[in-house]
Each structure stands twice: as C-alpha cells, then as structure tokens.
Amino acid sequence: MKLLHPQNWNDYELIDSGDFEKLERFGNYILTRPEPQAVWNKSLPNREWEKLSNAFFRKEKNDPEKGKWSLKNGMPEQWYINYSYQKMTFKMRLGLTGFKHVGVFPEQSENWDYIYTHTQEIKSTDNASDKPKVLNLFAYTGGASLAALAAGAEVVHVDSVKPVLSWARENMEASDMNGIRWILEDALKFVQREVRRGNTYQGIILDPPAYGRGADGEKWVLEDSINEMMRLCNQLLAPKNSFLILNLYSIGFSALIAENLITTNFEDTGDLEIGELYIPDQHKKKLPLGVFARMRR
C-alpha cells in the first residue's frame, strides 16, 4: 500500500492543520477552511492563523455542509493558479463557494501526473493513428481532463452539474487548450449507454462523491452504485494499453475497498497499486485526503 502526496506544486501549500481546520495557500492567497479529518492540535496559534488568512470559511449552525466566507480587504472571490509537470502546464480558476470548496483538490495532482505520463505512453506505443480516448467521470472542474488533453488524448468529460461543467470549460480556455467533449449527464447513465454502444476507452478516471444528484435528479449513493459502475467500466476499458484510476473520499472507505472493487470486476488488473493520498503541512503532520486504486495494463 502506497502513501502518495503532491510533488510538483508551486501555487499550493498546506501551511498548518488541526482543530478540524486547515490553513492553505492557493497562489497569493491564504485560506482557512474546515477539515473534518484534522482531529489533532494546530501547530501555530490561532492568532497566527488569523494574521495569515485572507479569507475564513464559517459553517452555518443549521447546515454543517454550507457556510459563508469572511474576506479581508484585497481578497478576490475568484483568481487563478497554475500547475506544471514536465511539459504539461494549465491554469485553474478558483472561487469561494458556499460549500467550502474552491474548485481544485490539490492532492489530485498526484493523479494528474499519472494520467499525463501514462496517456503519453499509450500514445507512443499504440499502433493506431487515433488519439487515446480518456473518459473522466464525476469530472468536477477538470484537472484530470486537462492532464489527459495535454498528453494528447481525446477527452470525454462527464459531470451532472451545469455550473461546474462551465467552470471546467473556463479552465480549458484559460489554459489555451481546446477539444474536450462536454457531457452534462448522470455518470452511471452515460456509462450504461456507452456500454450498449460498444465504445471503449484507453483511460477511465472515476472520482465519485459519497452522495450526489444527476442532471435529471438521479440519485447517486456511493456504496449502492459503485460496484455496478466498476462492472460497467470493465466493459468500457480497452484490454491493452489502458489505465484506470478510482478515487474514494468517503470517510470509512479504505484502500482495500478500492482494491476489491478492481480485483472483483477486472480479470486483468495489470500493474495495480492502492493507497492513500495525503498532503503534509509545514509542521510534518500528514493530512489524509482520500484513497485510490490505479491500474495500468
């Protein structure tokens, strides 16, 4: 089992964590956000957090999933950060949402690097003249889509939330890229239809939430639907020169669950690795931020 953390960020760092919060720098701005897994003590005093932060997220009493931001003078509600790895470079717009998210999950850069590297490998070894096809499900604001596009893939980006899909398109355009195919639809419904059509992909990326709603109100519950999703992905993934990434954020889901979902649904798991993604803060505390399974065959 592997423990992986981002290696190539210049525009992000985790400064401190603890007391159910995290102190992060995104580009030129520092934010304080809730973090349910930071159950330990902060390393810096609260006054230092208050001094450093440009914006603070405070949860609503009647709905812990929502809240409001308090901004210091000069703090914008939207701004851009850059990410680079080898010859891959792209921009992502950040924004202060009412759900504490800002439009990027920095720990996922470890997967972006993997996507870029293996998409390029497939492109160089596959005898077909066509571009590798990569499917990004529950694709959010598109970091993984941009990584695949930068490596020369034909990318299909699926998300059920229209404003998030528009946000991902903004990121593509800001990065001076083009060509992503945008799909506003429930991910499971799209995959079912792709199987019926007989389509295949050289790369599949799944980043499902614990709970969600499809574009037409379809209900997604991770533990109820993820096994069926993986069974269908087995039918969509090309048998050779292909990769798959599964991320799981739900607290209580271990990397062994991700591993079992792969091994019970795929006969050939190729080079399979499982583990946790984390980010270390400046005081050497390791903040866990989800589990993964990745296979390359």
Name which of 120-134, 141-155, 197-211 the model is least confident about. Answer: 120-134
In this structure, are 239 and 195 located in the same domain? yes
3-state secondary structure (DSSP) of residue 171: helix
Domain-embedded: residue 43:
yes
- Residue range 61-72: average pLDDT? 85
Please report the pLDDT score of residue 66 as a whole number: 85
- Residue range 177-203: average pLDDT? 97
pTM of the model: 0.95
- Residue range 12-34: average pLDDT? 98
C-alpha to C-alpha distance for 138 and 163, rounded to whole angstroms = 13
Compute how many other C-beta atoms are within 10 angstroms of the C-beta atom of residue 228. Answer: 13
> Mean of the per-residue pLDDT values for the chain?
95
The closest of 182, 202, 12 to 123, measured between CA atoms, is 202
In this structure, are 267 and 137 located in the same domain? yes
Domain-embedded: residue 92:
no
Edge-to-edge strands of the sheet including 29-34?
12-18, 21-26, 29-34, 55-59, 67-71
Residue 243 tokens, joined: 């990769």
In this structure, are 150 and 223 located in the same domain? yes
Of the candidates 62, 78, 94, which is a domain's last residue? 78
Provide the CA 222 distance to its chain's centre, in angstroms: 16
Contact (CB, 8 A) for 212 and 229: no
Please report the pLDDT score of residue 19 as a whole number: 98
- Residue range 214-232: average pLDDT? 89
In this structure, are 143 and 264 located in the same domain? yes
Domain-embedded: residue 96:
no
In this structure, are 30 and 116 located in the same domain? no
CATH number of the domain encompassing residue 73: 2.60.40.1180
Share of the chain above pLDDT 90, in %: 87
In this structure, are 267 and 207 located in the same domain? yes
Domain-embedded: residue 160:
yes
Compute how many other C-beta atoms are within 10 angstroms of the C-beta atom of residue 264. Answer: 12
In this structure, are 74 and 109 located in the same domain? no
Contact (CB, 8 A) for 143 and 81: no
Structure confidence at residue 10 as a pLDDT band (50, 70, 90): very high
Tally of domains in the chain: 2
Domain-embedded: residue 179:
yes
- Residue range 134-144: average pLDDT? 98
Please report the pLDDT score of residue 79 as a whole number: 98
pLDDT at 293 exceeding the cut of 90: yes
Residue 295 tokens, joined: 């296979």
Left if phi > 0, otherwise alpha if psi is -120 to 50, otherwise beta: which for 190? alpha
3-state secondary structure (DSSP) of residue 128: coil
**Residue 131: what are its φ and ψ, rounded to 5°?**
-70, 150
In this structure, are 112 and 55 located in the same domain? no
Please report the pLDDT score of residue 211 as a whole number: 76
Domain-embedded: residue 190:
yes
Of the candidates 59, 78, 97, which is a domain's last residue? 78
- Residue range 252-261: average pLDDT? 93
Please report the pLDDT score of residue 127 as a whole number: 62
In this structure, are 61 and 134 located in the same domain? no
C-alpha to C-alpha distance for 115 and 284, rounded to whole angstroms = 27
Of the candidates 31, 60, 78, which is a domain's last residue? 78
Residue numbers of the domain that contains 155:
105-296
In this structure, are 117 and 196 located in the same domain? yes
In this structure, are 117 and 73 located in the same domain? no
In this structure, are 71 and 166 located in the same domain? no
**Residue 113: what are its φ and ψ, rounded to 5°?**
-60, -40
Please report the pLDDT score of residue 124 as a whole number: 86
Q: Which residues contact 142 (CB under 8 A, 6 or more apart)?
A: 92, 136, 157, 167, 168, 169, 171, 172, 180
